Structure 1
């Protein structure tokens, strides 16, 4: 690839973007009261110089304040996997807001038991508790497993995604030893005091770390996602379960992103047997929601511990968690939007997406690859695809990624800003997928 040609093409696309979005550019320039000029600093992760400002969104399309419509393949980085403002979720939320009242009351509703039963059907975990984010659910699950095992450390895979959980911000150095993830902000303690790390797809490294006898739980995604999709090799997940049991360590599956694998995430799709399941983002249809589920045995052990304050200040809850509005949104989204039938269509669209991208890569003889996880697909600048998080991070190509993103957005297509991920909603069509394939090939050809 001609890097000078890439740089020049990127500069032209940036100019095109700026000309087409004067209102967004002005809104960003005037946002002087926001830290980083955006509601959350991660919104500055973009290829376009300034962010698009939202006007409205519906289904798998969004409109910016400059009047342009976009095919949204980002879908809130899984948070809007159900599509934007799905009608059943909107109807349930409106009913709670306008007819029933009680957005938050510190009281349970009957919807909560329905959601818990549905999550058990999908993921297998017997007892559920709710949160507002998967980050919170992970934090609370970590506290419980530490209390129940009497062990201080959590083991994660480098470049995993568990939100802003402190224990997860660990990677390994060239010798395979744990160190702070680069850029970690304000770590409360040396991360090696709370965490251990083992590369994804590396059972020998996992056993080496578990052999210390101080790991309460392995907290993992069944497939890495936020560093680019990294799929498990044959036998790896079964090996993780065998090793955790052998060393008396619990297993937490964080399905926040891998929920795309199917109605019950990778846990159901691949027949996994975790002790704890965490899920968030998508289950509320865009309303802040999260949950963690415990096995029957683990829940009984926790409730039997009278020395643990699970009712007041024990660190396993929040005043707004499980509020009637979030729970109503979860019931509607799981019951009527992200159904088993919907997943079948979403997965078919992702298969079509991956096949189209792979055909472009093959035609142009590129050393790239495409990986798919159910309704989610992603192209990578490496072939074969990376097998762990460290390899995946090393395969990143910032200038190329930025160019592809701005090229696509200038032609009305949005990918997840953090990487080259595309997610299918229940309303995404074959025509939408084929449109991306055509624009992707145009982008590739423009810099070769």
Structure 2
């Protein structure tokens, strides 16, 4: 494999950046005028878009986004899985419109029948029998961590270096593979306490590091995705997830699986596809079709342990105990979840989405091979992501080391200038029920053109 010519890369980045700026004057104008917003954007991570400013949304539907300059894009970012169902899917819009119109009552502090239906559907997909609702997976993780500590009487959570579980304080931790120990992840913003007081970090795909952390006897739960995602897809090696289950059981910890991103693995996520056995399960984003929502599921055993403590007065999960929120489980979110899960993200939809992701992966692999690039691509069901590394990273630390800001900028701008949006944080592409084979073929052609220019 031949190394990338960095001087040529710099020239191409500048060319693509100039084309991007010339094509998007209205987006630039809006960005420059947004001085009353911190960082000029509604959320500071929106500055991650390449080109010096983000595109501004005009409208979106299905697998298409149109910006304020009138350009329409094939959208493979899909809200970083938040729009896995596609933008504004008709059943979800119908349910939300009914709730906002004829039915009325968006949030009332009263339950609706939709909650029971959604709970039963989540059990069918992800196996856990008991469910509670939130407004995000971050909330679900925070509250479920509290319940894990309550159920076990232990204080710490085990996470993997460069994992992602939203903005949960305990999860921004890494370990030194040589010296051990738990440290704050680089860039972590003002953690409330040193992270080693709340967390033990381990290395993904390294069961020995997991067991070393568990031997201390203070870990309430192993919190993990079935595959690392926000650092690029890092798949588990054969036996790793089964090893986590066995080690959790042996050392008295709970296994807490977050499928907010790995739901792309199939109708029942990786939990069903791979036969996983979580004690606690977390999901968010995608199940509401774009309406903020999340959920966590508990096993009967965990629920019984929590109930024991609440019955004896040791904890309060009804009033002031730090579990729950006024808007959580609201009528609007539950209506959106019922419609999205029941009518949009069906088994048939996942079959088609996974087929398209396979075609996407094959198209990228063909160009990587043709141009002898030191890159790789991983697929997780309906989701695929290429990395500027070969062989593919097997740990979070290796994935972080493979980051290349210049190549990221070039590939994102090159795709954007050719009518394709990729996830700004990394090179992830997600298929939705509205994605078409022509969309995948369009990316294959644009990707080939971009890497051909890179090779010269």
TM-score (norm 1): 0.99
Aligned partner of 2:232 among 208, 228, 232: 228
Q: Deviations over 1:364-415 (max 9, x none)?
A: 1111111000000000111111001000000111101110000100010000
Greater than 2 Å deviation, 4+ residue runs:
173-177
Aligned to 2:430: 423
1:337 lines up with 2:344 in the alignment = yes
Aligned partner of 1:40 among 37, 40, 43: 43
Aligned to 1:30: 33
Measure how far apart 1:300 and its partner are.
2.1
Aligned to 2:114: 111
Secondary structure of residue in 2 paired with 1:447: helix
Measure how far apart 1:84 and its partner are.
0.2
CA distance in 1, matches of 2:143, 2:67: 37
CA distance in 2, matches of 1:250, 1:45: 35
Aligned to 1:216: 220
Aligned to 2:396: 389
Measure how far apart 1:303 and its partner are.
2.0
Q: Deviations over 1:228-270 (max 9, x none)?
A: 0000000110011000000000010000000000111110110
Secondary structure of residue in 2 paired with 1:228: coil
Aligned partner of 1:275 among 271, 275, 279: 279
Give the superposed CA RMSD: 0.7
Aligned partner of 1:378 among 372, 376, 385: 385
Measure how far apart 1:357 and its partner are.
0.4
Aligned to 2:453: 446
CA distance in 2, matches of 1:401, 1:272: 34
Aligned partner of 1:142 among 130, 142, 145: 145
Q: Deviations over 1:86-143 (max 9, x none)?
A: 0000000000000111100000000000000000000000000000000000000000
Aligned to 2:69: 66
CA distance in 2, matches of 1:310, 1:190: 27
1:349 lines up with 2:356 in the alignment = yes
Farther off after superposition, 107-116 or 39-48: 39-48
Secondary structure of residue in 1 paired with 2:102: helix
Measure how far apart 1:2 and its partner are.
1.4
Aligned partner of 1:432 among 419, 439, 442: 439
Farther off after superposition, 375-384 or 116-125: 375-384
CA distance in 2, matches of 1:296, 1:262: 25
Measure how far apart 1:304 and its partner are.
2.8
Aligned to 1:408: 415
Measure how far apart 1:447 and its partner are.
1.4
Q: How many residues in Structure 1 have an aligned counterpart in Structure 2?
A: 448
Aligned partner of 1:298 among 302, 315, 319: 302
Secondary structure of residue in 1 paired with 2:14: helix
Measure how far apart 1:299 and its partner are.
1.3
Aligned pairs (5 A) from 1:241-260:
241-260=245-264
Farther off after superposition, 167-176 or 123-132: 167-176
Secondary structure of residue in 2 paired with 1:177: strand
Secondary structure of residue in 2 paired with 1:100: coil
1:191 lines up with 2:195 in the alignment = yes
CA distance in 2, matches of 1:138, 1:8: 44
1:360 lines up with 2:374 in the alignment = no
Measure how far apart 1:430 and its partner are.
1.0
Measure how far apart 1:273 and its partner are.
0.3
1:81 lines up with 2:84 in the alignment = yes
Aligned partner of 2:130 among 127, 130, 134: 127
